[in-house]
Amino acid sequence: MACGGWLPGRHQRAHVAPREPGDATGGADGARGPGPSRRHPRIPREAPASRPGGSLHRPREASHGLVARLARSHFGKENQPITPRPRSVTDLGVTRYNRLTVANCVRILRAPTAFGEFVKNPLALHTWTLDTTPLGSVLDIVKTTGWQGIELRRLDFKRAADAGQPAEAVLDLVKRSALGVSCVGVELGWLWAEGAERARLLAAFDESCRWAKSLGCGTVMSPVDRGEGTVARAADSVKEVGEIAGRHGVRLALEFNSQCAQINTLRSVREVLARATHPRVGLLLDTYHLQRSGATPRDLEEVSPAEIAYVQYSDVPKSGLVAGQALDRLPPGQGSVPFAAWFSAFAGKGYTGYCSYEAPNPAAWARDPATVSREALAATRSAAGGSGA
């Protein structure tokens, strides 16, 4: 059945205007007289709601299979965030449409308030979120709780090396998990470093890019330096690491840090990138640092889509913030970040890459990691569903 049409069901009668006594279809005694057949003619594809008597027919129920096909066509076979069931969509967070009619299926999939553009993005979990859990266990948890990818830190490789395991063992472990790798972190400090320390950090940067390429990952990330320096020197460093990233076919996502001394706002990191103008380096947008730096979703209006390389997210506590501290991150919906507006802004820029949940917090580390992972994913989907993105 085409989505734009409908046919009367066996128990669905067309509206029939009341007969006047003595009319052509019946006499005063109610007996049938000559007149047109009571068999209803073919119903047009669209029934105007303004026709006398209201809607001619109750819309037909859509089958589970049709809903599933519509969902697959909208989200893609690899990313189906819903499990449709007949006659109710309350489990989808959509209360506006309470019947799975064909027309409502289309409305649900078109309505931005239903799922939003954000849920088209694959979702990854950052290993810092489960920092006290061994990497092998983290990979199992991420996979079984429903995330689509993992973000790795350079620290994950360092811990393996400290335990006598080479980087290749970490790479093999991640590959066996069959999870997508959203990003690989590099060692920070290269922005204003000099001499032997700079050479060491650039070699480490090259190594992280090589690991990312081996894992089929196109993005590496680095925070800015915590200290201070000239914008010109920072821009030169960005160009240099951009060349390294380019040799490996990856792109660097550079993250400003709201709690560092100098490059602590969206404007300040964009200034550095604008001076560097390297195609292999872009912005890392993290909702935590955006919120703590005072940025608003409207600030993205002047950011071009090509500037955005990667997105991380977590919520900011509504109170008790401590300057210089950032280990208080929360799942979406528990703090002050306006996720509805931010998700909408990211979608409006056409960002289709991974969104990575990075939420280091000692309170979360003390809990069951599988529960933390599961609750975070549910909170993410809830925030996306109500985002209007």
Look at the block and give the residue holding tokens 């989505």. 3
| CB-neighbour burial class of residue 167 (10 A; exposed 0-12, middle 13-18, buried 19+) | middle
- What is the signed CA dihedral for 376, 378, 382, 384, rounded to 10 degrees? 70
- CA distances (Å), origin 263, targets 171, 251, 259: 32, 20, 9
pTM of this structure: 0.71
Domains assigned to the chain: 64-110 (no CATH), 118-385 (3.20.20.150)
Note the Cα 161 to chain centre separation in Å: 33
Closest of 205, 197, 291 to residue 245, by C-alpha: 205
Q: What's the confidence (pLDDT) of residue 278?
A: 98
How does DSSP classify residue 26? B
Contact in structure between 318 and 292 (CB atoms under 8 Å): no
Label residue 30 left, alpha or beta by phi (over 0 means left) and psi (-120 to 50 means alpha). left
Note the Cα 371 to chain centre separation in Å: 20
Question: Which parts of the chain are beta strand (E)?
Answer: 123-126, 149-152, 180-185, 219-223, 251-255, 281-286, 308-313, 355-357
Q: pLDDT digit of tens for each residue in the chain (389 aa)?
A: 444 333 344 444 444 444 444 444 444 444 444 444 444 445 445 444 444 444 434 444 444 454 444 444 444 443 434 344 433 333 334 344 344 555 554 444 444 433 334 457 999 999 999 999 999 999 999 999 999 999 999 999 999 999 999 999 999 999 999 999 999 999 999 999 999 999 999 999 999 999 999 999 999 999 999 999 999 999 999 999 999 999 999 999 999 999 999 999 999 999 999 999 999 999 999 999 999 999 999 999 999 999 999 999 999 999 999 999 999 999 999 999 999 899 999 999 999 999 999 999 999 999 999 999 999 999 999 987 644 33
Between helix 64-75 and helix 102-110 the angle, nearest 10°, is 20
Q: Where are the alpha helices (DSSP H) in 215-338?
A: 231-248, 266-276, 287-292
Cα 157 from Cα 388, distance rounded (Å): 39
Cα 345 from Cα 297, distance rounded (Å): 6
Q: What's the confidence (pLDDT) of residue 120?
A: 78
Query: Which residues lie closer than 8 Å to 156 by C-beta, 6 or more apart?
Result: 127, 135, 170
Q: What angle do CA 377, 140, 372 make, to 5 degrees?
A: 35
Q: What's the confidence (pLDDT) of residue 101?
A: 52
The Cα diameter of the chain in Å comes to 109
